[in-house]
Amino acid sequence: MYKPRFLLVTALFALLSMSAIAGDKVTEMRAVADSLHAIGRTDSAITVINSALEITGKQSGNTATLVGLHSALGVFMRSSGNIDGALKHYNEALRLSADKNFRDNADEDALQELASLYVNMGTLHLDMAHKKEAAVYAERSAETASRCKDNEFKSQLYGVAGSIMAGTGHPEKAVKYQEESYDNAVKAGNDDLSMRAAAYMMMTMNKLGRKKDIGKWRDRCTELLPRVPSMMSRLLYFQAECSIALSQKQTRKAITWFDSILALDGIANFPFVVYDCYNNIHTAYSDLGDYRNAYEALLKGNEVRDTLYEKQKAESLRDLTVKYDAKEKELALARSEAERANTRAWLAVVMTVLLIAILIFIIYAYRQRKIRHEREMEFNKLRSDTEHKLTARYIEGLENERGRMARELHDGVCNDLAAIRMHITDDKSQQSAIELIENCREQVRRISHELMPPEFKHATIDEVLQFYIDRLASTTGRNITYDSVPADTDWSTIHDDVSLEIYRIVQEAVGNAVKHASANRVSVELTRTDNGMELTVRDDGSTAASTQGGIGMRTMRQRAAAIGGTIAVETNEKGTTVKLTKNYGKP
């Protein structure tokens, strides 16, 4: 399903952080920082806010201002990927806001800063997949906003809180907050905010499957559309229509809405949205079998991607130009002073020329280093792709061979053993032989079943591993246990190919522990982490049967490499531990 890139999330945070604060200079710096962040110049925004903090820190009685500045820094650092820095400033803002005097005497500005801080914390926790904490902060922000008087601010904050609730799996609360957002926008007479709230309601109702309510909110958007000049609000409405059309398999309708987005005035200023549109148009035409238009959309998307890269380089050059112009102004000032003091003038000229030379050298060195880095990245990507293809081909061969062996065991050996059993008479000695043959036949049948890959389209990796471990424990009589952490993890999001390799690695590791290490206790644990997932197999078997070598260990490492993971083996007097680690961002 289409997941639109909502640029207005940045705009909302900018607006939420624009509450009135003491001091014209700090207010101006706050507005400049928000504008820089909105156009993607986050590093410059951080520099401006740090300067504002220095000014505000020298004054007294500005707790609300400090809370707002630290909250804004948290947003900017989160946008730039500096999560540790974001947490540091969020914690400082929370510490300041916990002051009893601040809480007891909170005016409109203080309440708005506090509500903005809570909603920013909720967004950060949502990004880090901490859904429970995200929902708590969203509720706190909404409760604080309810005590504010500014209807426009309340509309914006309720809208973000509703989005967080939708992302944490609380659709009914999301509906409640989005309705509050719409009602406050209507009270404020702000058609732009009303349109945004109505568009969010369309998407929320679509997630809940309430088609009738989708139509009700679509009618409100259609009514507001002629009165809303804001491109961002129109973009959000069109994105909502795209998402709904694709979820309802209305591919041609979705293409029409994507075309409407691309026709918006000023959309070229948001190349990431344009790039997303072309990518989704390409997929839609491919689903319709219209490969000519699909190819044209793909080419246009690639052009936008290349333009983005060039734009980033141009932005760096513009920053250098600003610095160069600043040095030129310093030179002009030095020359005017030279009329009064020749010695000072010559010194200023020499220093300026030296700085320009250093700047030119830095530019050249930076460009050369960037070119080398890009070439290294291209080579490493090519080598990685080649290794993954070879590994995948090897693993595919192993699976084909497993399937063939399973069929031969089941259809050949099992049937032959059954035929032998039928030809043996019923005396006592032969009855013992019958029991041995029957036991052998059941073991061969179990092995053949284990060789066949599980059907992950009917079960998750968590369910398949639980079934396999329970069955193995009952048949071997060993203490073999399985656990998944955390307990409420949605394992259905793991791709089938990744699930199969994890399943095979567990089979190999547990089999080594039971058959070769003579382990009495084996534990298997599958853990979902912030960065990916971990699989740990521990046993108390003989250390002489370490899995450091042999075809089994080599196969496990190849399977791990096929899914972008790594295998680590640790053996000591207590037994052996096999750990698979897979991080996000890897295939």
Collapsing DSSP states into helix, strand and coil, what is residue 480?
strand
Q: Which helix (H) or strand (E) holds 473?
A: helix 461-476
Residue 457 · residue 463 · CB < 8 Å: no
| CA dihedral over 186, 188, 189, 192, signed as positive or negative | negative
What residues form DSSP beta bridges with 566?
Answer: 581
Backbone angles phi, psi at 193, to 5 degrees: -65, -35
For the beta carbon of residue 413, count every other beta carbon within 10 angstroms.
Answer: 16
The identity of residue 36, as a single letter, is L
Would you state the pLDDT for residue 15? 40
Place of tokens 């939420």: 16
Counting other chains too, the contacts that 91-99 makes at CB distance below 8 Å and 24 or more residues apart are: 93/66, 93/67, 93/117, 94/121, 96/63, 96/66, 96/67, 96/70, 97/63, 97/67, 99/63
Please spell the DSSP secondary structure of 255-309, one letter per residue.
HHHHHHHHTSTTGGG-HHHHHHHHHHHHHHHHHHT-HHHHHHHHHHHHHHHHHHH
For the beta carbon of residue 225, count every other beta carbon within 10 angstroms.
Answer: 14
Question: CA angle at residue 529 from 524 to 535, to 5 degrees?
Answer: 20
HSE toward the beta carbon, residue 265, CA cutoff 13 A? 3
Angular region, 22: left φ>0, alpha ψ -120 to 50, beta rest: beta
Would you state the pLDDT for residue 219? 93
Residue 253 · residue 245 · CB < 8 Å: yes
For the beta carbon of residue 525, count every other beta carbon within 10 angstroms.
Answer: 16
Question: CA angle at residue 131 from 124 to 277, to 5 degrees?
Answer: 65
Q: Is the peptide bond before 486 cis (omega within 30 degrees of 0)?
A: yes
CA distance 562 to 439: 37
Q: Which helix (H) or strand (E) holds 10?
A: helix 8-16
Q: Name the percent of the chain in helix, strand, coil, to the closest 5.
A: 75, 5, 20
The first and second tokens of residue 541, run together, are 């078997």
Backbone angles phi, psi at 244, to 5 degrees: -65, -45
For the chain (length 587 residues), average pLDDT per consecutive 10?
A: 45 39 69 76 85 74 79 81 83 82 79 86 84 91 91 90 89 90 92 90 88 92 89 88 91 92 85 86 90 89 75 51 53 58 67 73 75 72 61 65 61 63 62 70 64 68 90 87 90 86 90 86 94 93 62 83 91 92 70
Backbone angles phi, psi at 490, to 5 degrees: -90, 95
Q: In what order do the strands lie in the sheet with 565-572?
A: 479-485, 521-528, 532-539, 575-583, 565-572
CA distance 303 to 299: 6
Give the relative orientation of helices 231-247 and 271-288 as an angle to the nearest 10 degrees. Answer: 20
CA distance 488 to 467: 18
CA-nearest of 500, 396, 507, 506 to 447 is 507
Residues in the chain: 587
Backbone angles phi, psi at 569, to 5 degrees: -120, 130
The first and second tokens of residue 34, run together, are 């928000």
Residue 528 · residue 489 · CB < 8 Å: yes
Angular region, 519: left φ>0, alpha ψ -120 to 50, beta rest: beta
Q: Is 41 exposed, middle or buried (0-12, 13-18, 19+ CB in 10 A)?
A: middle
HSE toward the beta carbon, residue 543, CA cutoff 13 A? 6
